[in-house]
Amino acid sequence: MERLRSSPLHASISTALDKHLECIHGLQARRKEEIVSASSRQQHGPPRCQDERVVLALAAALRALCLATRKVRTALWSAFQMTLPK
């Protein structure tokens, strides 16, 4: 879009994209922790409290990703509107 406009976009657009990518990486890390926790639970028996913390961390990461997705969609829509010819 920057190439179409021949000028850089607003800094908040790239910030929103960076935050979205950061949230994706965070969610992937929490998911890996959940998988490790589930596999160790099968081997050693159910440590209930630890498992709940892992699931709550995963839910929090998913919520953060949802919020970041809304913001990045709005930012990209704004960038698209700025690129359209008048």
| Terminal Cα distance for the chain, rounded | 15
Q: Is residue 58 part of a domain?
A: yes
pTM of this prediction?
0.80
Q: Is residue 66 part of a domain?
A: yes
- Domain containing residue 69: 10-81
Please give the backbone phi and psi of residue 47, each rounded to the nearest 5 degrees, phi first. -85, 95
Look at 82 and 50; give whichever has higher pLDDT.
82
Q: Is residue 29 part of a domain?
A: yes
Q: How many CB atoms lie within 10 A of CB 39?
A: 10
Q: Is residue 2 part of a domain?
A: no
Q: Is residue 59 part of a domain?
A: yes
Q: Is residue 16 part of a domain?
A: yes
When divided into structural domains, the chain yields a total of 1
Please give the backbone phi and psi of residue 18, each rounded to the nearest 5 degrees, phi first. -65, -40
Q: Is residue 61 part of a domain?
A: yes
- Are 80 and 9 in contact, with CB atoms under 8 Å apart? no
Per-residue pLDDT tens over the stretch 10-48: 889 999 999 999 999 999 999 999 888 888 766 666 555
